[in-house]
Chain A
Amino acid sequence: MLGSFHGGVHPHGNKGMASHKAIEPLPMPQRLYVPLHQHAGQPCDPCVTVGQKVLKGEEIGRSDAWVSTPIHAPTSGTVVGIEEYPAGHPSGLTMLTVVIDPDGEDRWSDSIAGIADPMNAEPAVIQERIRWAGIVGLGGAVYPSFIKMTPPKGKKVETLLINGAECEPYLTSDERVMVERAKETIAGIEIMMHTLPTSKCVIGIEDNKPEAIKAMTEAARSYNGIRVQPMPAMYPQGARQQLVEAITGKQVPSGARLVDIGLLVHNVTTAYSIYEAVVHGKPLITRVVTVSGRGIAKPANLETLLGTPIRNLIDHCGGMKPGVRKVILGGPMMGLAVDNLDVPVVKGIAGVLALLQNEIVDKPEQPCIRCGRCVQACPMSLVPSEMAWRAKVNQLDVMPELHLNDCIECGSCGFVCPSNIPLVQYFRYAKLAIQADRRAQKKLDMDKARTKAKAARVEQEKLEKERQKEAMKAAMAARKKAAAEAAPAEAAPAAPAAPATETVAAAVATDAAPVAEGAAALSDAESKAARAARAAQAARAARAAKAAKEQA
C-alpha cells in the first residue's frame, strides 16, 4: 500500500504556529560563532588565522578526510577568535569555533560563480561543487551530500526519493522552502537527477502540507520523471527507512545501503541548497530555521546565517514567554534540549523551539506495565520494552539479537509509553556501552598481539646473539687456527644475521596502523562512551545510595 510504513505514531503537529509565516531573513548578528564540525565525519581544521579578514563564502575550515565537508564564512568580516565554544552537544561540550565579527558589508568572495550549464556539466564537476559548498543532509543527519551523490562503481540509482515529509511536529522550514522556493528546489532536483544519473524521482510530502504539495506539483509539472507523492501524516515518515517503505513498499535490508536497492534519499532543502551551490555558486552558509513553540511570542521561519547564537533568533521572535521549560534544537521528537542560549545555529538545525510545561513530558518514570504500545509504535519493528529492561540490567550481549543497532532513536516508543520510561535514553546508553566494550576488547587483542610480538622479538634477539657469539667463536678459532697454521685464509662469514627481527617489527607496525586509525576515528565516540559510562556509574551509585537509604 502506498504511503504507509510499519508502526509510527501521531503526535500533534503543532505546525499552525509557524506554517503560514513566510521566510524572513534574520538581521545580521553582532558576532558569529561558526563551529568547525557541523557534519557527520571528520571535523575541519581552521584555514584562517585570528585577525584575518574574510569574505562571504570563503572557506574557513577544511579537512583532508573523505567524510567531511568544508565550512565557509557566512558573511564578510574579521576573524576575532578560533576557540572552544559551547555547541549544541548532548553533554554541553565545546567545539572548535571560528568567531567572526561581521563588517556589515556582507561582501561575497570573488571566486563565487555558478556552473554555467549544469545540465551539460560532467557529474564529477557537480559532485565536487556539492562537496566544496559544504552541503550536508539538512534533515538532521548532516551526512555529506556529495558522497551520496557519488554512487559507488557498479551501483545505479533507479529512483531518487526526495524527503519533504517533515514529520517532526512544530517544524515548518522544509514546508516554507517548498512553498516559496519550489522552482529552485525542483531545479536542484533536476541537477541531482542529471548527476547521479537517474530518470525517476519521487517527492514525498505529508498531506498536512497542502500548499507545499500544490507548489511542488506545479513546479514539477514541466519535468518528466519527477512526481509528487502525498502521504498521510505519520511520524517518523521522514526517516530514511520509513520513507522508503512508505513510497516503494520495500524495506531496506538491515546493514545494506540504500543504493544497494537502487534508491537514494535526500532532504528537500538539501535539493534547494544544491541548486544554490551549482547554479549560483553559493556555499551552504544559511538555512531556514523554524522558531516556534508556545513559549515563543511570535513564531517565525528565519533565514539564518550559520553561527548565529539561538538567542538572537528567539529575541527576534519577541523573546521567550515566562514559564519556558525546554529549549530544543530541532524537533520535539528527536531534537536536543539545551540550557544554553549562546549555542549557534549549525547546518543540521531546522528549528529552535521553546516549550512550556504543558507541552513537554516531565513525569517520573514508572515501571513498565508491558502494555505493548512501544512495540506497536516502533517503526523498526523492535521490542523497545525488552531492550530497555535488558539495558537497565546491563545484559548487553543479547542486544544484537534484539537488533538494538537498527534503532533509529526516533522516540516513537517513548512518546506512547504510559509509564514515561525514557526508552531512547536507555538505548543510547546501551549502544555506547557496547561500543566501549568492543573497543576495550580490540585494545586487549592488540595488547596481546604486541606482547606476543615482543616475546618473539626477544627470542629472536637471544638467538641472534648466540649465533653471533658462535660466529665470533668460530672466527676466533679460525683465526687462531689460521695463525697456528700460518695460513692467510680469512674466516668464513658468520651465519647470516637474522633479519627476522625487523620483519616481525614491521608486521606489528602495519597491523597496528589501521587499528590506530580506527581508534582515532572513534575518539569522539570514545569520549562519548566514556561519558556515558561515567554517567551510568554515577546513576548506579545514586541508585545504590537510594537503595541503602531505603533499607536504612
Chain B
Amino acid sequence: MSQTNLLTTTSPHVHDGDSVANVMEAVIWALMPATAMAVMIFGWTALLVILITTLSCLVTEHLFLKLRKRPSAVADRSAALTGLLLALTLPPHSPWWMCVAGGVFAILVGKQVYGGLGYNMFNPALIARVFLLISFPAQMTAWPAVNPLFSEQAYSLGDSIAIIMTGQSSAPELADAVSTATPLGQYRTETGMGKTVQDAMGGKYTGYDEVRAASGLIGGSLGETSALLLAAGGIYLLRKKVITWHIPVTMFAGCLVPATIFWTFDPAHYPDPVFHLLTGGLVIGAFYMATDMVTSPITVKGQIIFGLGCGLLTYLIRTWSGYPEGVSFAVVLMNAVVPLIDQYTRPRAYGQVA
C-alpha cells in the first residue's frame, strides 16, 4: 500500500544545497570589509547612509509584496543586497530623503514592476543610482573630504545625524569639506580646461596617489574607495564560486586595455590605466554590479561579451562624455542588450555540428 509520508517528487532527488539566499548573503559578506572601511573613512554619516538605504529597500520590498498579497521575499536577502550596493554608490553625505528615494526606486521601479526578483532587466541598485544622478545631480556629486572615524576632524555622531537629516551641521569644517572633487572628476574638469593630466593631478588636487587610492583614503562615493578591499571580497566570491571570472576580468580588460593604449600614445592627455583601475567604481562595478546574475548573460560566451562591453563603455564615458564616471551607465546600457546577447550566444548543443 502506498505510504503517504513518502514524497514522490521528480528527480533529481538530491541537491548541492545552495540557495538564492546563500548566494545573496555571500555577496553581502564579500562587501563587508569595504563597507566597514567606508564607515571608517567617512565616519558615522556613511553608516547612516547605508542603514537608511538598506532599510528603505527592505521595507519597500516587504510592503509591496504584502500589498500584492504575495509571500514576503525579504528572506532571500536580495533586497538587502540591493540596498547595500546602492548605498555604496552614494556620496557619504547623502541626505536621508535621497537615500529613501533611491531605495524605494530600486525596489519598485528597478525590480517589482518587472515582476520581482529574476525578471528585472536592469541592476536595481544601478538603475536607482542613475535615477538619482539625473534627478539630484548636485547632491550626487557633493564629495566631502575624508574624515576618518576617531580622527581629529571626525564628525561626532550627533553632527553626522544632523548632516544626513538636515543637511546642516554645527561643525565648522563642513563648508570646506564639500568642495573637494573626486580624482576622476578632477581629471575631467581640469583636462577639459586644456590642462595636461600631470598639471591637473599634480597641481590643485593633491589627494591622489596610487597607494592612497588603493587603500581607500580618497574622496568619492562610499564604495568607490577601497579598491583593495573590494577586490578581496571579489576574490572571495570567485573562490566560493558565487561568481565566475568571466565578467570581472573582461570588464577590467575592456576598460584598461584602451586606457593603456591611449596613455601610451598620449600620456599628457590620458591618465594611466592604474588611475582608471583604482579610482571611481570600476572595481565595485566589475565584481559586484556587472556580475549581478539576473541582469547579466547566462552563458560564458555572453558574459565575456558583456564584460568587455561594460569595460569599454566605462572608458568611453569617462573619457569623452559629459560625466566623469561611467561605470553605472555602462553596466545599465549593457544590461539592456543582455536578452540579445543571450539569444546569440547559446552554447553549441552536444552533437550539433557547428
- Interface, chain A (partner B; CB < 8 A): 6, 9, 11-12, 92, 169, 241, 245, 251-256, 324-328, 332-342, 355, 359-363, 366-372, 375-376, 379-383, 385-386, 402-403, 406, 409, 411-412, 414-420, 422, 424-425, 428, 550-551
Q: Is the CB of B351 within 8 A of A254?
A: yes
With the chains together, A415 CA to B119 CA distance in Å? 22
Using CB atoms, name the residue of chain A closest to B343.
Answer: A386
With the chains together, A341 CA to B342 CA distance in Å? 46
Q: Is the CB of A550 within 8 A of B14?
A: no
Q: Is the CB of B16 within 8 A of A252?
A: no
Known: A9-B16, A411-B11, A422-B10. A340 touches B351 (CB 8 A): no
A371 touches which of B70, B293, B350 (Cβ 8 Å): B293
Interface residues of B in 104-147 (CB under 8 A from A): 116-119
Smallest CB separation, A510 vs chain B (Å): 36
Would you mind naming 14 contact pairs between A and B with Cβ atoms under 8 Å apart?
A: A9-B16, A11-B14, A12-B14, A92-B8, A328-B13, A337-B9, A337-B10, A338-B8, A339-B8, A361-B9, A367-B118, A367-B119, A385-B298, A550-B68
Does B23 count as interface, using CB distance less than 8 angstroms?
yes
Using CB atoms, name the residue of chain A closest to B351.
Answer: A254
Neighbouring B residues of A363 by C-beta, 8 Å? 15, 19
Q: Is the CB of A254 within 8 A of B352?
A: yes
Neighbouring B residues of A256 by C-beta, 8 Å? 351
B14 touches which of A332, A341, A403 (Cβ 8 Å): A332
With the chains together, A515 CA to B111 CA distance in Å? 51
The 3 closest A-B pairs by CB, nearest first: A411-B12, A367-B118, A254-B351
Known: A369-B117, A369-B293, A376-B300. A418 touches B11 (CB 8 A): no
A-B contact count (CB 8 A): 180
Known: A333-B12, A339-B8, A375-B298. A383 touches B347 (CB 8 A): yes
Does B69 count as interface, using CB distance less than 8 angstroms?
yes
Q: Is the CB of B351 within 8 A of A241?
A: yes
Neighbouring B residues of A325 by C-beta, 8 Å? 5-7
Neighbouring A residues of B168 by C-beta, 8 Å? none
B118 touches which of A12, A92, A252, A368 (Cβ 8 Å): A368
With the chains together, A363 CA to B1 CA distance in Å? 26
Q: Is the CB of B9 within 8 A of A422?
A: yes
Neighbouring B residues of A371 by C-beta, 8 Å? 23, 293, 298
User: Using an 8 Å CB-CB cutoff, how does the interface string of B288-306 with A read, 1 for contact, 0 for none?
Assistant: 0000011111111001000
Interface residues of B in 1-52 (CB under 8 A from A): 1-16, 18-20, 22-23
Neighbouring B residues of A382 by C-beta, 8 Å? 347, 349-350
A424 touches which of B10, B295, B297 (Cβ 8 Å): B10
Q: Is the CB of B3 within 8 A of A339?
A: yes
Q: How many residues of B contact A (CB 8 A)?
A: 47
With the chains together, A174 CA to B133 CA distance in Å? 64
Smallest CB separation, B71 vs chain A (Å): 9
Neighbouring A residues of B3 by C-beta, 8 Å? 339-341
Smallest CB separation, B287 vs chain A (Å): 16
Neighbouring A residues of B159 by C-beta, 8 Å? none
Q: Is the CB of B15 within 8 A of A420?
A: yes
Neighbouring A residues of B5 by C-beta, 8 Å? 324-325
Does B272 count as interface, using CB distance less than 8 angstroms?
no
B350 touches which of A241, A361, A428 (Cβ 8 Å): A241
Neighbouring A residues of B299 by C-beta, 8 Å? 372, 375, 383
With the chains together, A342 CA to B13 CA distance in Å? 21
Q: Is the CB of A416 within 8 A of B13?
A: no
With the chains together, A363 CA to B9 CA distance in Å? 11
With the chains together, A252 CA to B352 CA distance in Å? 9
Does B240 count as interface, using CB distance less than 8 angstroms?
no
Neighbouring B residues of A375 by C-beta, 8 Å? 298-300, 347
Smallest CB separation, A441 vs chain B (Å): 25
Neighbouring A residues of B353 by C-beta, 8 Å? 253
Smallest CB separation, B93 vs chain A (Å): 34
Neighbouring B residues of A169 by C-beta, 8 Å? 14
Instruction: Given A362-B9, A366-B20, A403-B349, output 18 extra A-B contacts at Cβ < 8 Å.
Output: A253-B351, A253-B353, A255-B351, A324-B6, A336-B11, A339-B7, A360-B14, A367-B117, A367-B119, A369-B20, A369-B117, A385-B298, A386-B342, A412-B12, A414-B11, A414-B15, A419-B20, A425-B10
With the chains together, A335 CA to B12 CA distance in Å? 8
Does B239 count as interface, using CB distance less than 8 angstroms?
no
Q: Is the CB of A326 within 8 A of B348?
A: no
Q: Is the CB of B11 within 8 A of A6?
A: no
Neighbouring A residues of B13 by C-beta, 8 Å? 326, 328, 332-333, 335, 337, 355, 360-361
With the chains together, A552 CA to B64 CA distance in Å? 16
Does B212 count as interface, using CB distance less than 8 angstroms?
no
Q: Is the CB of B11 within 8 A of A333?
A: yes
Known: A380-B350, A406-B351. A370 touches B12 (CB 8 A): no
Neighbouring B residues of A412 by C-beta, 8 Å? 12
Q: Is the CB of A403 within 8 A of B352?
A: yes
Neighbouring A residues of B294 by C-beta, 8 Å? 369-370
Neighbouring B residues of A372 by C-beta, 8 Å? 293, 297-300, 303
With the chains together, A190 CA to B12 CA distance in Å? 36
B2 touches which of A245, A336, A339, A420 (Cβ 8 Å): A339
With the chains together, A90 CA to B295 CA distance in Å? 37
Does B76 count as interface, using CB distance less than 8 angstroms?
yes
Neighbouring B residues of A359 by C-beta, 8 Å? 14
With the chains together, A412 CA to B12 CA distance in Å? 8
With the chains together, A6 CA to B347 CA distance in Å? 11
Neighbouring A residues of B4 by C-beta, 8 Å? 339
Neighbouring B residues of A355 by C-beta, 8 Å? 13-14
Using CB atoms, name the residue of chain B closest to A170.
Answer: B14
Q: Is the CB of B12 within 8 A of A415?
A: yes
With the chains together, A180 CA to B40 CA distance in Å? 66
Q: Is the CB of B11 within 8 A of A327?
A: no
With the chains together, A325 CA to B8 CA distance in Å? 9
Smallest CB separation, B303 vs chain A (Å): 8
Neighbouring B residues of A340 by C-beta, 8 Å? 1-3
Neighbouring B residues of A11 by C-beta, 8 Å? 14, 16
Smallest CB separation, B120 vs chain A (Å): 10
A418 touches which of B14, B19, B68 (Cβ 8 Å): B19
Q: Is the CB of A362 within 8 A of B12?
A: no
A92 touches which of B2, B20, B295, B346 (Cβ 8 Å): B2
Using CB atoms, name the residue of chain A closest to B338.
Answer: A370
Q: Is the CB of A406 within 8 A of B350?
A: yes
User: Using an 8 Å CB-CB cutoff, how does the interface string of B221-264 with A read, 1 for contact, 0 for none?
Assistant: 00000000000000000000000000000000000000000000
Neighbouring A residues of B118 by C-beta, 8 Å? 366-370, 419
Using CB atoms, name the residue of chain B closest to A235.
Answer: B12
With the chains together, A335 CA to B7 CA distance in Å? 13
Using CB atoms, name the residue of chain A closest to B293.
Answer: A371
Known: A361-B13, A372-B299, A416-B16. A379 touches B23 (CB 8 A): no
Q: Is the CB of B6 within 8 A of A251?
A: no
Q: Is the CB of A381 within 8 A of B350?
A: yes
With the chains together, A294 CA to B4 CA distance in Å? 20
Q: Is the CB of B69 within 8 A of A550?
A: yes
Known: A327-B6, A383-B346. A414 touches B12 (CB 8 A): yes
Known: A169-B14, A383-B299. A418 touches B8 (CB 8 A): no
Using CB atoms, name the residue of chain A closest to B241.
Answer: A373
Neighbouring B residues of A328 by C-beta, 8 Å? 13
Known: A252-B351, A363-B19. A370 touches B298 (CB 8 A): yes
With the chains together, A325 CA to B351 CA distance in Å? 38
Q: Is the CB of B68 within 8 A of A361?
A: no
Neighbouring A residues of B347 by C-beta, 8 Å? 375, 381-383
Smallest CB separation, A358 vs chain B (Å): 10
Q: Is the CB of A381 within 8 A of B348?
A: yes
The CB with the most chain A CB atoms within 10 A, among B4, B18, B23, B349, is that of B349
Q: Is the CB of A428 within 8 A of B10?
A: yes
Neighbouring A residues of B300 by C-beta, 8 Å? 372, 375-376
Q: Is the CB of A335 within 8 A of B11?
A: yes
